[in-house]
Structure 1
Amino acid sequence: MPIYRIEGVTPVIDPSAYVHPTAVLIGDVIVGPGCYVGPNASLRGDFGRLVLEEGANVQDNCVMHGFPGTDTVVEVDGHIGHGAILHGCRVGRNALVGMNAVVMDGAHIGPESIVAANAFVKAGFDCPPRAMLVGSPAQVRRTLSAEEVRWKAEGTAEYHRLTRRCLESMELCEAQTEVEPNRPRCDGGTAKPKYQS
């Protein structure tokens, strides 16, 4: 994976974390225990510090960056969906930022909250715990139910498992030219999309 030191500051990756080989980490990046960083994620710690606390995941094509002297933090078990952008913000413990959402400087996403896909969270926004944020600009739509928080935690647990699966078995290979008989499936776990019962 491309790892770059800048001005003598080198990214740190806990040995129990998985960072995909196509992800790019630059400078002041700290990836904590059990974290997952997906393909093509860009964590640019060339201005502010970027921190992934234990069990956080940052999925494919996400961007993390910040202004000089700021910290961009994903707290314990934070879950950052595909293509999301975090800039100088803080995502609370066990919160979820949906696919292609943007969270701007000085914004704080409260613990156990969900930022809907494609939402735009303005700079300085302060989100309470267990909130559902929707729209552009994002607004608190309602309080999440215990069932919704449980569903989110199940999804994050699957990313914890994915971290271990990747560390144990991910390897570069050549594609096959034909589908083999009785082709196995990857072990996708038990989490279900919210629209299913």
Structure 2
Amino acid sequence: MPCYSLDGLTPVVDPSAYVHPTAVLIGDVIVGAHCYVGPLASLRGDFGRIILEEGANVQDTCVMHGFPDSDTVVERNGHIGHGAVLHGCRIGADALVGMNAVVMDNARIGARSLVGATAFVKAGFSCAPQSLVTGNPASAKRVLDDQEVAWKQAGTREYQALARRCLHGLQECAPLAAAEPDRPRLHVSDHQPKRSTL
């Protein structure tokens, strides 16, 4: 992976975490145990500190950045969907930020909450635990029920398993010219989460 030390600070990646070779880590970045960082993600610790706590995932093309002296944090088992932007904010334990959502400076997303896809969370926003947060600008709409939280937790466990799969089985290769006859399908889990109705 492109990994850059800056002003004497070198990114830290726990050996049990998986960071895709195309993801970029710069400076004051700390990636905890069992985390997953997807292709083309950018974690720029060139002003503030970037922290992924144990079991968090940051998916493809996500950006994490912050102002000087800020921390941008995804707490334990946090789940950041494709293309999301986190800037100087804190995502609570077991929370989910949907695809292409933006969470701005000093925003605090409560534990077990869900920020909907494409939501824009303004600077300084905060919500109670287990909130559904949607809109532009985003607001807390209601409390998530336990089934919705369980759906999110199942998805996060799949990304934790993906980190292990990638550490042990992902290999760069040349593509085939054509699909093989009777091409097998991936059988990842018998317990994959069903699609959300949120």
Instruction: Give the structure-1-normalised TM-score.
Output: 0.98
Deviations, residues 71-99 of structure 1 (Å, cap 9, x unaligned) = 00000000000000000000000000000
RMSD between aligned residues: 1.0
Matched, 1:173 2:173: yes
Equivalent in the alignment of 1:163? 163
Equivalent in the alignment of 2:109? 109
User: How far 1:126 moved relative to its partner?
Assistant: 0.9
Query: How many percent of aligned residue pairs carry the same amino acid?
Result: 64
Q: Secondary structure at the match of 2:118?
A: coil
CA distance in 1, matches of 2:138, 2:185: 38
Q: Which runs of 5+ in 1 are unaligned?
A: none
CA distance in 2, matches of 1:126, 1:141: 13
Equivalent in the alignment of 2:195? 193
Q: Which runs of 4+ in 1 moved over 4 A?
A: none
Which residue identity does 1:194 align to in structure 2?
S
Equivalent in the alignment of 1:49? 49
Deviations, residues 148-188 of structure 1 (Å, cap 9, x unaligned) = 00000000000011000000100100000111122122233
Q: Which runs of 5+ in 2 are unaligned?
A: none
Which residue identity does 1:72 align to in structure 2?
T
Q: Secondary structure at the match of 1:161?
A: helix
Which residue identity does 1:193 align to in structure 2?
R
Q: Secondary structure at the match of 1:132?
A: strand
Q: Within 5 A, what are the aligned runs for 1:1-197? A: 1-189=1-189, 190-195=192-197
CA distance in 2, matches of 1:95, 1:5: 30
Instruction: Give the structure-2-normalised TM-score.
Output: 0.97
